[in-house]
Amino acid sequence: MRRQFVVMVATAAAAVVSLAGCGEAGSSGTEAPPSAAAGAGCAPAAGETLVVLEDDKKLQNTDNVLPALNKKSSSPELIAALDKASAALDTAKLIDLNKAVSVDRKSSKQAAQEFATASNLTAGITKGAGGELTIGTADFPESATLAELYGVAATAAGYTVKVQKIGNRELYEPALEKGDIDVVPEYAATFATFLAGKVDGKGFKDPSSPDLATTMTNLKTYTDKVGLVVGEPSQAQDQNAFAVTTAFADKNGLKTLSDLAAKCSGAATVLGGPAECPQRPKCQQGLVDTYGFQAGKFSSLDTGGPLTLTAIKQGTVSVGLVFSSDPALASS
């Protein structure tokens, strides 16, 4: 279930859309740079439940879920229907949708339909001229589930919907421009960065921002240039996040990344994440620059996957880089 781990410095469109390298799975922790704080730090604490520490100084960009459409395929009725789907979503609900598929083993279509029914999604959706509509998805479960949810909304607006798995962004974005597909679920900041790299080429200025309004303004500048439009962003975000066990958070009195920096910088604290994390501006280097957090050790694991999640739960690392909509973050 992975999409756009933003730990890499974007140098071209292809670099932006690819996932950060996973690193050497299972490699042992390494000492932090000599600049690490000399405090005691906070030793890992095992536990089965995880919690994300609030990014209170806005280190991460705004990867809010939203629909992207081929401009020729769009209509006011379709956009209004998709915006209703966006309005029904927040991060906690997206986590639950992902859990329904990845843990409870429901199909993406079933999970989306059940969510739509529970949230009364189709009530008040206006039917337009309709027609055939192809909704594309990337090749991970969250994208498929969001596509199915858009399909419920679009069907209520009078469209005959087909959901089609395309693959990664390098494949589905050109298909969207050509009109081979009509709609695709996207992530605001990552999509803005991708399009800027495609339109402006090498050395482009990254248009994404920790401020959603800024990201959206910049994103629409680029979608206009390539014949696309986007709907309203949802409150649901799928982006980098730093998770700890609830036992670790409770023991050390942590709610935010500022708390982590103030209370847990030092030798006993172990940070886990992909191999690139120590040098990346949205990972360990970002924690240093934005929060002044200094881990005592870094453990090279995977990209928000099972190695990192297991290491947090088993108490091998104190804090790990995860995805904010990971089903492992579900409250029950």
**Mean pLDDT computed over 227-249:** 98
Helix, strand, or coil here: 328? helix
Give CA separation, 56 vs 53, 180, 181, 189, 326, in Å: 9, 41, 38, 18, 20
**Mean pLDDT computed over 157-185:** 98
Every domain of the chain and the residues it spans: 13-60+239-329, 65-230
Residue type, 244: V
What pLDDT shows up at residue 332?
65
Computed over every residue of the chain, the mean pLDDT equals 90
What pLDDT shows up at residue 258?
98
Q: How many residues does the chain have?
A: 332
What pLDDT shows up at residue 8?
41
- Quickly state the pLDDT bin for 18 (edges 50, 70, 90): very low
- pLDDT above 70 (res 237): yes
CATH superfamily of 65-230: Dipeptide-binding Protein; Domain 3 (3.10.105.10)
CATH number of 13-60+239-329: 3.40.190.120
Kindly give the residue spans of alpha helices, DSSP state H, lying in 119-211.
Answer: 141-156, 169-178, 188-200
Contacts of 263 (CB under 8 A, 6+ apart): 42, 252, 253, 254
Please write the tens of the pLDDT for every residue from 54-86.
999 999 999 999 999 999 999 999 999 999 999
Please write the tens of the pLDDT for every residue from 108-164.
999 999 999 999 999 999 998 899 999 999 999 999 999 999 999 999 999 999 999
- Quickly state the pLDDT bin for 11 (edges 50, 70, 90): very low
How many helices and strands in the chain, by DSSP H and E? 12, 11
Phi-psi bin for 120: left (phi > 0), alpha (psi -120 to 50), beta?
left
Q: Do domains 13-60+239-329 and 65-230 have the same CATH topology?
A: no
Query: Distance between CA atoms of 172 and 163, rounded to whole angstroms?
Result: 13
- Quickly state the pLDDT bin for 331 (edges 50, 70, 90): confident
- pLDDT above 50 (res 49): yes
Please write the tens of the pLDDT for every residue from 282-321.
999 999 999 999 999 999 999 899 999 999 999 999 999 9
